[in-house]
């Protein structure tokens, strides 16, 4: 399967997640042109990317559109998470801008959630799918934002996201988690859990 991203971190993360359900499936990166992500929802953008990758490669394609949604910002950055500080897609600048915008906001008003929407597009003419197939699933990972970045793991907003459900005296940002810990709990793994039955039927 092709994963519609040029981000090697996402390819590694998806391969690890997929291996838990379908170890026979190899997830490869996408080397084609990037489509214009002009959707206004995660689902719209995920489908745009998956359709483009399936059309370019002829392979079943997965695409993830994800971001962080901050409650006090009305759900922003949301679909603009990767571009929050501009079109350079500078992860450090995005993170620092978000922290700056929330600098005067204290708990319990720093709640947020990572959202992942995964689209699966099986192109027409694929074995067992003459007419083609499209599915969209969603995973939500609730938590809150730390006041400063911590940890060198993960990517994007991971160093400032503190997931719910941790012991109060041992809370860590996702940047301080191991890759295995993140893959077991993340918004992408939650979305993939909903996708797994569909992959099993391929």
d(CA 192, CA 202): 15
Domains, the chain: 2-200 (3.90.950.10)
pTM of structure: 0.87
pLDDT of residue 132: 76
Q: What is the pLDDT along the chain (202 residues), one digit of tens a residue?
A: 999 988 888 888 888 878 877 889 899 999 999 899 999 999 999 999 999 999 999 999 999 999 999 999 999 999 999 999 998 889 999 999 999 999 999 999 999 999 999 999 998 876 555 567 899 999 999 999 999 999 998 889 999 999 999 998 899 999 999 988 998 899 988 998 898 888 877 7
pLDDT of residue 85: 95
158 annotated ligand binder: yes
Whose structure tokens read 């060198």?
A: 152
156 annotated ligand binder: yes
Active site residues: 65
187 annotated ligand binder: yes
Omega of the bond leading into 199 within 30 degrees of 0 (cis): no
List pLDDT tens digits, range 44-95: 999 999 999 999 999 999 999 999 999 999 999 999 999 999 988 899 999 9
7 annotated ligand binder: yes
5 annotated ligand binder: yes
pLDDT of residue 10: 81
- Note whether 179 and 9 are within 8 A (CB): no
DSSP string, 42-94: HHHHHHHHHHHHHHHHSS-EEEEEEEEEEGGGTT-BGGGGGGTT-TT--HHHH
């Amino acid at each position: 399967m092709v994963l519609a991203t040029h981000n090697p971190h996402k390819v590694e993360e998806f391969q690890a997640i997929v291996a838990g359900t379908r170890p026979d499936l190899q997830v490869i990166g996408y080397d084609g042109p990037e489509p214009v992500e002009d959707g206004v929802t995660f689902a719209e953008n995920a489908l745009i990317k998956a359709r483009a990758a399936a059309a370019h490669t002829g392979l079943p394609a997965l695409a993830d559109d994800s971001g962080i949604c901050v409650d006090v910002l009305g759900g922003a950055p949301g679909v603009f998470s990767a571009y929050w500080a501009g079109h350079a897609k500078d992860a450090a600048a995005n993170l620092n801008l978000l922290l700056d915008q929330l600098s005067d906001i204290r708990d319990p008003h720093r709640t947020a959630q990572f959202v992942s929407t995964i689209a699966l597009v099986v192109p027409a003419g694929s074995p067992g799918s003459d007419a083609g197939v499209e599915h969209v699933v969603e995973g939500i990972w609730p938590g809150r934002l730390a006041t400063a970045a911590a940890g060198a793991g993960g990517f994007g907003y991971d160093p400032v996201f503190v997931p719910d459900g941790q012991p109060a005296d041992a809370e860590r940002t996702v940047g301080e988690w191991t890759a295995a810990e993140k893959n077991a709990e993340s918004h992408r793994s939650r979305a993939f859990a909903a996708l797994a039955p569909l992959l099993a039927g391929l």
